[in-house]
């Protein structure tokens, strides 16, 4: 069990509820529903039913022998969230939140999405339950994730294009929050990551903890001991906190969160919040934010739409300051190289987001020690990224 819980919405100086007064009652309603229903046996039984029979959990923990040999050091396992229904970890959270929405009597669901995986997962559970669904998505992201846009539409969801700002995830989240203010009585906002105002960082973490619970049980069955290193990509931070949280009491286990280095930190075109960000308030919470000297939000860049975000979940900010998790970054080219290599070595095409975690192990895995056990969270599959990758990889290696 973890040594920290943060049920009050504050993670040291981070977190909180920085929203218009009109949303405070809605946030209180979500928090009350979560604290009332989530601990009950009935809710947990229903959640477990859908996670097992609909999502396809538990996802496997796969020993990647060829990747391990290539890295030349530790024994590497892959937590296969890419095999969950809809192709990513996002469904763990949307299933949980749709069950809450039903209990709150909501008829309409809204969400934001960057890479499209959270949008698809939200559209999926709305189709499952018959609730109306609207997903906000930046125009830039809609172009690079056209397949996911079509999937959402196929599932009966209205995808609303956001042309403001950089036309990416932060702009989509702004529009979703505006919608919620307008339609708060009938609508539940399924936020996709461990960010935004309380109770979302807590709520989403609790729905994603299933990743770490399974991984702990699976590695003990496979190896008879706990891992030495955990690695996951970090955008808002839900897949990483989902893996890390069950291991937080084990301080000797290294936990490495990998941000998007984009075109390099020096270029300014990246989404590495801990590299050049500083404390600020953004989209409902206080955390590390990429901003200029006047507090204006910087434009971000990443080859992966899901990591292309100017802030990070507040619990990650606290974990960083407490030195409980190490945060690093890899650039676009390193992520693309890892995308290609994992495909060639293990027959697993990862999401470009997940490829950042693989790239970190390719860079530094040999230093972990020859007897080390490593778990990489493959948070999503790369079907959505093949057009994007084809454009960047070009004619390399016979592609």
CA 256, CA 213: separation in Å to the nearest integer? 18
CA atoms of 171 and 113, how far apart (whole Å): 10
Per the DSSP assignment, residues forming a β-bridge with 108 are: 132, 187
Q: Please identify which of the residues 311, 354, 379, 384 carries the catalytic annotation.
A: 379
Output the DSSP codes for 79-91: EEGGGSTTSBTHH
Token duo for residue 174: 């702004």
Yes or no: say if 336 and 316 are a contact pair by the CB < 8 Å rule.
no
Q: What is the largest CA-CA distance in the chain?
A: 57
**Among the options 31, 81, 90, 175, which is catalytic?**
90
- Rounded to whole angstroms, the Cα distance separating 300 from 345 reads 31
Backbone angles phi, psi at 310, to 5 degrees: -80, -10
Residue spans of beta strands (DSSP E) within the chain: 10-11, 14-15, 61-63, 75-80, 108-113, 132-138, 158-162, 187-189, 229-233, 254-260, 278-282, 285-289, 326-330, 373-378
Structure tokens at 289: 């934010």
Q: Which two tokens stand for residue 331?
A: 């650039």
CA 107 to chain centre: 26
Cβ neighbors of 293 (< 8 A, separation 6 or more) are: none
Q: Which of 248, 264, 263, 214 is nearest to 377 (CA)?
A: 214
Task: List 6's β-bridge partners, or say none.
Answer: none
> How far is 206 from 93, CA to CA, in rounded Å?
8
- 206 belongs to the catalytic site: no
Residue 112 annotated as catalytic: yes
Q: For residue 199, say if its preceding peptide bond is cis, omega within 30 degrees of 0.
A: yes
Q: How many CB atoms lie within 10 A of CB 294?
A: 5
Catalytic annotation present for 360: no
| 367 Cβ contact list (under 8 Å, min separation 6) | 73
Q: Check 112, 175, 259, 346 and give the catalytic one.
A: 112
Check: CB of residue 287 under 8 Å from CB of residue 312. Answer: yes
Q: How far apart are CA 95 and CA 121, in angstroms?
A: 8
- Nearest-CA neighbor of 282 among 171, 388, 133? 171
Helices marked H in 105-246 — which ranges?
117-129, 139-144, 146-154, 169-182, 200-208, 210-223, 238-244
What residues are labeled active site? Answer: 90, 112, 379
């Amino acid at each position: 069990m973890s040594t920290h819980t943060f049920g009050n919405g504050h993670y040291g100086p981070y977190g909180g509820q920085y929203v218009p007064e009109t949303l405070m009652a809605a946030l209180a309603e979500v928090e009350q529903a979560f604290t009332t229903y989530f601990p009950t046996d009935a809710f947990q039984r229903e959640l477990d039913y859908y996670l097992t029979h609909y999502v396809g959990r538990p996802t496997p923990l796969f020993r990647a022998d060829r990747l391990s040999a290539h890295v030349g050091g530790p024994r590497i396992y892959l937590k296969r969230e890419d095999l969950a229904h809809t192709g990513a970890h996002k469904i763990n959270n949307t299933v949980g939140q749709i069950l809450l929405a039903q209990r709150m009597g909501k008829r309409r669901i809204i969400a934001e999405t960057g890479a499209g995986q959270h949008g698809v997962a939200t559209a999926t559970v709305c189709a499952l339950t018959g609730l109306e669904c609207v997903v906000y998505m930046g125009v830039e992201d809609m172009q690079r994730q056209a397949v996911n846009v079509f999937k959402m539409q196929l599932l009966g969801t209205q995808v609303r294009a956001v042309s403001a700002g950089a036309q990416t995830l932060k702009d989509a989240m702004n529009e979703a929050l505006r919608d919620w203010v307008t339609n708060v009585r009938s609508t539940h906002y399924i936020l996709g990551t461990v960010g935004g105002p309380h109770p979302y960082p807590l709520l989403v973490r609790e729905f994603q903890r299933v990743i770490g619970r399974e991984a702990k049980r699976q590695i003990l069955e496979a190896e008879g001991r706990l891992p030495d290193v955990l690695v996951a990509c970090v955008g808002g931070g839900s897949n990483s906190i989902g893996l890390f949280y069950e291991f937080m009491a084990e301080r000797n286990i290294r936990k490495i969160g990998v941000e998007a280095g984009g075109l390099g930190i020096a270029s300014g075109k990246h989404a590495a919040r801990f590299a050049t960000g500083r404390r600020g308030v953004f989209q409902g919470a206080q955390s590390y934010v990429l901003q200029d000297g006047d507090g204006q939000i910087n434009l971000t860049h990443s080859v992966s739409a899901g990591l292309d975000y100017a802030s990070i979940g507040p619990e990650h900010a606290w974990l960083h300051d407490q030195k409980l998790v190490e945060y690093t970054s890899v650039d676009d080219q390193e992520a693309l190289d890892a995308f290609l290599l994992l495909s060639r070595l293990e027959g697993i095409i990862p999401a470009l987001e997940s490829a950042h975690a693989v790239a970190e192990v390719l860079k530094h895995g040999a230093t972990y020690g020859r007897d080390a056990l490593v778990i990489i969270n493959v948070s999503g599959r790369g079907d959505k990224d093949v057009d994007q990758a084809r454009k960047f990889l070009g004619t390399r290696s016979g592609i």
